[in-house]
Amino acid sequence: ETGVTQTPRHLVMGMTNKKSLKCEQHLGHNAMYWYKQSAKKPLELMFVYNFKEQTENNSVPSRFSPECPNSSHLFLHLHTLQPEDSALYLCASSQRGQGLQFFGPGTRLTVL
């Protein structure tokens, strides 16, 4: 595997379900990000992790819970989501202090 991978690629869940999105980067980077991409909206930064420490939370509702066990892996735990949370969730990684971010293919999430 190379670059940034995300699983699953597609996820359909009910509002009462609990699920997790996984991201893995194979680039030796030390910063990782979660973005939300909705139709007709710009890419919305959700969380930033540097060296496994969360350094930014952009007022994201608590029903989204990130976890970064090491510099290569990033999770987004989901619970009691709303239909408006349906979107493409993108993971990215970079070398800290550099603006160049590499994105994964995303997880298309549908909340019923």
Partner 1 sequence: QQQVKQSPQSLIVQKGGIPIINCAYENTAFDYFPWYQQFPGKGPALLIAIRPDVSEKKEGRFTISFNKSAKQFSLHIMDSQPGDSATYFCAASRQGGSEKLVFGKGTKLTVNP
Q: What are the structure tokens assigned to 7, written together?
A: 């699983």
Phi-psi region of 84 (alpha: psi -120 to 50; beta: other; left: phi over 0): alpha
Q: Taking contact as CB under 8 A, which single stretch among the options 11-19, 68-76, 77-85, 100-108 is the one that binds partner 1? A: 100-108
> CB 76 → partner 1: shortest distance, Å?
15
Does 50 help bind partner 1 (rule: CB under 8 A)? yes
Q: Cβ closer to partner 1: 69 or 99?
A: 99
Taking the least distance from each CB to partner 1, the nearer of 77 and 96 is 96
Which one of the spans 13-21, 59-67, 68-76, 93-101 is the region binding partner 1 (CB under 8 A)? 93-101
Q: Is 43 in the site for partner 1 (CB under 8 A)?
A: yes
Chain centre distance of CA 93: 10
Residue with tokens 């990215």: 92
| HEC-encoded secondary structure of 24-88 | EECCCCCEEEEEEECCCCCCEEEEEEECCEEEEECCCCCCEEEEEEECCEEEEEEECCCHHHCEE
| Interacting residues with partner 1 (CB under 8 A) | 4, 6, 31, 33, 41-43, 45, 48, 50, 55-56, 90, 92, 94, 96-106, 108
